[in-house]
Structure 1
Amino acid sequence: MNVSYRIEQVRSMNKPTARTILVIGATGAMGRPIVSRLLADENNNWHIRAFTCNPESSHAQQLLEMGKEGNRVELFQGDINDSASVAAAMEGVYGVFCNTNFWESCTVSAEREQGLRSLEAARTAGVQHFVYSSLDSCVTLSHGRLPVPHFDSKAAVEHEINWRRSEEFMNQESDGWYSRHVTVLVTLPYIENVKQFAVPEQGTLSDGREGVIFRLPMADAVWPMVALDDIAFFTAHIFAHPEE
């Protein structure tokens, strides 16, 4: 699909309003509940532009179904690795939620570039509120002993955001976009992963009962997790209350 077609495709859709939010990663595990929660915000009446490489997929069609009342969801077929495609998707939107997918490339550098490309496209387009989905920097927290690439790549983008904010602070002529218009939402492993990718095994519990046991080499450490619905709640709250 060439870039000119992508641009014309957006222009042929419903004219975007000042309340349009572009969701990058809309068809993913995190994106779908976020779209649902944003649509449920009656005070803001958000319109959703769902960024997807395959608008014919079942997940993309489910998003259309979510927003069929009021025709509030549109699909944008794009490629996050293509700057022109990302820039076209930003046209006329108020906000952007960005959750990149490490597993498409399985490289830290590729995901970092995707995040930076999206941020710069949003800044150029004058997006008012960019919410970036990040994760902890495991390589930093462990002083280099335990790199976790799919965490560290997102954290690298967060570090870039913080560096840009420092630059803006020192440069009085800066437009301050990274400081005034970007929010970083640091998430966690999903509770839902226990049902999908890390299924507990049957075994004997510490009190003698039979049950299911989840094993990780963590000794007595706590493993924090979060539900996807809770991520969606906080995302919608951030867009609805940017001053907070």
Structure 2
Amino acid sequence: MAKLITVFGATGTQGGSLVRALLQDSNFKVRGITRNVDSEKAKALAQKGVEMVKASTDDVSSLEPAMAGSYGVFAMTSYWELMDQAKEVEMGKNMVDVARKVGVKHFVFSGLQSVKKAIGKPCPHFDGKAEIEEYMFASGLPASSVRYAMYMDNIFTQTTPQNVGGDEYLWHIPVANQKLHMVYTSEAGRAVAAIFKNPDEYIGKSVGLAGDERTVSQYCDILNSHLAPAKVTPSPMTPEDFSKLPIPGADDFAVMFEFLQTDHPCYSVDETKKLDQNTIDFEGFVKANKEKILAAMNKNTSH
């Protein structure tokens, strides 16, 4: 009998990728959780056989029917929606509590490490998820955590190289010459699906998902080999410089970039490839998205 996996954020990047992976496996049935079951994305999933259910992590009464009957649950929270760490933690704990109540057998949470514990500086969008992770593992709920490295996909939006004239672009990722893990989030669902398929190996563990590990200069070389005549160069920007940018959460991101330059981040390309042998590296990502990356870059101008 197929096991029911309930996926929060089913119409988003992480959840949507997992839904696509689960739909390829007859051992699973999929329930998608969204706040708007009438959206075009929700309707498209319903047409593919996903049971779409309306629920919200800040409405506890909606969570029990959303998870009822589920073998597994993929849970995630968003700091950036409210930019309120305490509220994010409350929502995460709500999901853990309800999952325990209804008897979920495998709860997989999209978590992150505690930057504050690692380097002594607060980074709310990491620290809140770390607090939820800690609560989850202490609760006795059979659970795993998946920690996504920096999204390759963010090159389309938040981390698009900035045009500085002609075909020249600067990429503002302030991690100096340290290697940076990245993951193609839109394709990472296969690895998460594999965690649900192997509960004995992954319950009680955290997995850092990554498809590549290079310096920003090396990532730029890959971009330049496929996007010529565009030339992308690493920005000399420091985390302190980044903190002064006029964007929401600039301070938070600056501390994150400082953390990513230390030995603390726990991501593993090898572990991710063990889960999904077809994990896509940065070159594969660029080849698959060349026109989309160029379109995003052409819209961008220098700060």
Scaled to the shorter chain, the TM-score interval is 0.7 to 0.9
Distance 1:123 1:132, change over 3 A: same
SS of structure 2 residue aligned to 1:30: helix
Equivalent of residue 144 in structure 2, options 174, 183, 189? 183
Q: Work out whether 1:60 is the aligned partner of 2:47.
A: no
**1:117 equivalent among 94, 100, 125:** 94
TM-score by length of 1: 0.76
Q: Does the 8 Å contact 1:98/1:133 carry over to 2? A: yes
Rounded Cα–Cα distance in structure 2 between residues aligned with 1:136 and 1:194? 23
In the alignment, is the contact (CA less than 8 A) between 2:16 and 2:186 conserved in 1? Answer: no
Equivalent position of 1:92 in the other structure:
69
The TM-score with structure 2 as length reference comes to 0.62
Residues of 1 paired with 2:42 and 2:169: CA distance?
A: 34
Counterpart CA distance in 2 for 1:61 and 1:198 is: 30
Q: How does 1:1-244 map to 2 (within 5 A)?
A: 19-42=3-26, 44=27, 46-65=28-47, 67=48, 72-144=49-121, 147-164=122-139, 177-178=140-141, 181-202=142-163, 211-244=168-201
Deviation at 1:230, TM superposition (A): 4.5
CA distance in 2, matches of 1:23, 1:162: 19
Q: Tell me, what secondary structure is at the counterpart of 2:25?
A: coil
Show the counterpart of 2:245: none
Query: 1:18 Cα shift?
Result: 5.8
Deviation at 1:57, TM superposition (A): 1.1
SS in 2 for 1:119: helix
Shift, 1:203, TM fit = 5.5
Moved over 4 A (4+): none
- d(CA) in 2 for partners of 1:235 and 1:218? 27
**Secondary structure of 1:22 counterpart:** strand
Cα distance in 2 for partners of 1:18, 1:216 equals: 43
Q: List alignment gaps of at least 5 residues for structure 1.
A: 1-16, 165-176, 205-209
Kept in 1, the 8 Å contact 2:88–2:128? The answer is yes
Amino acid at match of 2:200: E
Using the alignment, how far apart are the partners of 1:37 and 1:183 within structure 2? Answer: 18
What residue identity is the alignment partner of 2:43? Q
Cα displacement string for residues 40-81 of structure 1 (whole angstroms, at most 9, x for unaligned residues): 124x1x21111111111122122223x2xxxx3111111211
What residue in structure 1 maps to residue 298 of structure 2?
A: none
CA distance in 2, matches of 1:224, 1:233: 18
CA contact (8 A) 1:18 1:94 kept: no
Greater share of helix: 2
- Per-residue CA deviations over 1:138-166 (Å, capped at 9, x if unaligned) read 2222122xx221111111111223434xx
Determine if contact 2:153/2:186 at 8 Å carries over to the other structure: no
2-side partners of 1:149 and 1:40: how far apart?
36
Query: Where do 5+ consecutive residues of structure 2 fail to align?
Result: 202-303
User: 1:234 & 1:99 partners in 2: Cα distance?
Assistant: 16
* Aligned-residue identity in percent: 33
Aligned alpha-carbon RMSD (Å):
2.0
Asked if 2 retains the 8 angstrom alpha-carbon contact of 1:23 and 1:98, the reply is yes
CA distance in 2, matches of 1:184, 1:163: 13
Tell me, yes or no, if the aligned pair for 2:137 and 2:143 is still in contact at 8 Å.
no
Distance change in 2, residues 1:162/1:240 (3 Å): closer
